[in-house]
Amino acid sequence: MEHLLLVGASSFIGGEIYKQAKEQGIHIIGTATKPKNPEWYPFDLAEDDITEVLAASGLMDALKRGEEVQTIVTAFYCGNERTVTNLPFAERVNLWGTQQMLDRFHALGIHTLWFSTEHIFSGRDGLAPYTEEALSCPVFAYGRHKAEIECYIKEKMPEMLIYRLSQNIDVNPVGIQILSEVYERQKTEKHFRSIKGQIISPTYIGDTAKWALEGLRRHLSGIYHCANPEYMERADFVRRFLKALGSDATVEAVPVETFGFKEGRPLDTRMSIEKLKKAIPELSFHSVNWVFAEFIRRQKG
């Protein structure tokens, strides 16, 4: 890999990819909407043209010299409730802006990895574990936007790579992630509620980043599921983490309707990872217990 553009270096997963790429000596250019890191370039999917970042960063010159430029895109207007709450803006970023950027990459011959989600499935049809060929059937706006971009890529740019991810977790107690949230809340709360029947495959962010870089290095194309094969009901995941923390807080699994969300939520969206295993036979994932132990060790340290 000669050059890598990371659109959304400021994201939870993007931060880990940026770190690993640097450790591997890859020449990486990052973007953020309002960069906090002076190395990053400003880029907003709602209004900017990615070719300006390519030009300003020297990647356009690299392309002209015939050098390989690859891209990972984490940028997306994420969030289950906020996507439907701010739908016109979310559509501008996730649909219009993403399509325009992908068109540019395609025209310039830039091989791209774009992240989708298990939530393009409903998880309510009994078809889990889903294969890559299963038909998408999203039940909320975030999943519908992801499914729409997947179709766009499949139809117009089949050389591109899509990884469908599950819930990512990190050993570092920073940022917005479920372990940090539960860790903070259990200091004052003794009772948690969780969506009944929602299955997650909690995946260590370090593994996602590693297999993302490896997928690009191997020039994979098409759709792959990239998730920890370990899965559990969300409530069980929280219970196990609370137990590991030594907390006596309880977790109740309650029907999704209890939460009063604007839209429904997917339930059992487990995905088969056999296709990625064949493409990258070295593929492995850290266990959830390892992530818990490492998170707790860092808290104490």
Residues near ligand NAP (CB under 6 A) are 8, 10-14, 32-33, 43-46, 74-78, 93, 115, 117, 165, 167-168
In this complex, which beta carbon is closest to ligand NAP, that of residue 10 or of residue 228? 10
In this complex, which beta carbon is closest to ligand NAP, that of residue 75 or of residue 249? 75
In this complex, which beta carbon is closest to ligand NAP, that of residue 33 or of residue 68? 33
Residue 200 CB, nearest approach to ligand NAP (Å): 9
For Cα atoms 123, 128, 132, give the angle at the middle one, nearest 5 degrees: 100
Cis peptide upstream of residue 129 (ω within 30 degrees of 0): yes
Between CA 256 and CA 261 the distance in angstroms is 8
Residue 64 CB, nearest approach to ligand NAP (Å): 25
User: Among all residues, whose Cβ is closest to ligand NAP?
Assistant: 11
In this complex, which beta carbon is closest to ligand NAP, that of residue 165 or of residue 187? 165
Beta-bridge partner residues of 73: 7, 114
Residue 118 CB, nearest approach to ligand NAP (Å): 7
What phi, psi does 175 have (nearest 5°)? 75, 180
The closest of 171, 136, 168, 165 to 276, measured between CA atoms, is 165
Residue 43 CB, nearest approach to ligand NAP (Å): 6
Between CA 73 and CA 152 the distance in angstroms is 15
Strand ranges (DSSP E) for the chain? 3-7, 27-32, 41-42, 69-73, 111-117, 161-165, 168-169, 191-195, 199-200, 203-204, 222-226, 232-233, 250-254
Residue 271 CB, nearest approach to ligand NAP (Å): 11
In this complex, which beta carbon is closest to ligand NAP, that of residue 25 or of residue 38? 38
Residue 189 CB, nearest approach to ligand NAP (Å): 22
Is the distance from CB of 205 to CB of 168 less than 8 angstroms? Answer: yes
In this complex, which beta carbon is closest to ligand NAP, that of residue 59 or of residue 179? 179
Between CA 73 and CA 104 the distance in angstroms is 13
Residue 89 CB, nearest approach to ligand NAP (Å): 8
Between CA 59 and CA 161 the distance in angstroms is 20
In this complex, which beta carbon is closest to ligand NAP, that of residue 83 or of residue 247? 83
